[in-house]
Amino acid sequence: MIIGVLSDTHGHVEFATRGIEALRKQDVQTVLHCGDIGSTEIVELLDGFDAHFVFGNVDWDKDGLRAEIKACGQQCHGEFGSLEVDSRQIALLHSHDRSRFEETISGQSFDLVCYGHTHKAEKHKSGRTVVLNPGALYRAAFHSVAVVDLESMSIEHITVGDD
């Protein structure tokens, strides 16, 4: 199974739409949003996906976002998400709480830890855990999303055009 990962949309509908279109082209069914959602319009853009959200440090209207996520039939995990997809244990957080982020990685309980906050696309392995930041869809040098093949644990960052 291939999943999509995005982060730091900050309510910017235009770039979020481009990122989500890139994920649709990859035929992903499940999408993880690593926080700083920014507006309910972003939640609505993910209609049709099995979407999971966590809050970031600038998600001020948590109650409004939580209500919209529920209304769209998607999953809100608050500040931290833990889920199993295709037999893989996945953690989802924004990473602004550095100690929680580092503990999540060092605990080695997850196959994949997805995070945002830094606005920089990156991936690395720490022990058995693959750590992934998809990059940001707003306030970044390059706007990007990521796709993960859960069987092989291969990751591809996809740059979203700014034209």
Q: Which of 129, 150, 140 is nearest to 5 (CA)?
A: 150
Q: Which residue has the tokens 């998607």?
A: 74
HEC string for 32-100: EECCCCCCHHHHHHCCCCEEEECCCCCCCCHHHHHHHHHHCCCEECCCEEEEEECCEEEEEECCCCHHH
Mean per-residue pLDDT, 17-34: 96
Mean pLDDT of the 130-143 span: 95
Number of domains composing the chain: 1
User: Each residue of 88-98: pLDDT tens digit?
Assistant: 999 999 999 99
Q: Which amino acid is at 70?
A: K
Q: Is the pTM of this model over 0.85?
A: yes
DSSP state of 117: S
Q: Mean pLDDT over residues 126-130, rounded? A: 97
Cα 107 from Cα 59, distance rounded (Å): 27
pLDDT tens figures, 67-86: 999 999 999 999 999 999 99
CATH number for position 64: 3.60.21.10
Give me the domain span that covers residue 145. Answer: 2-159
pLDDT, mean over the chain: 96
Nearest to residue 53, comparing CAs of 15, 67, 148?
A: 67
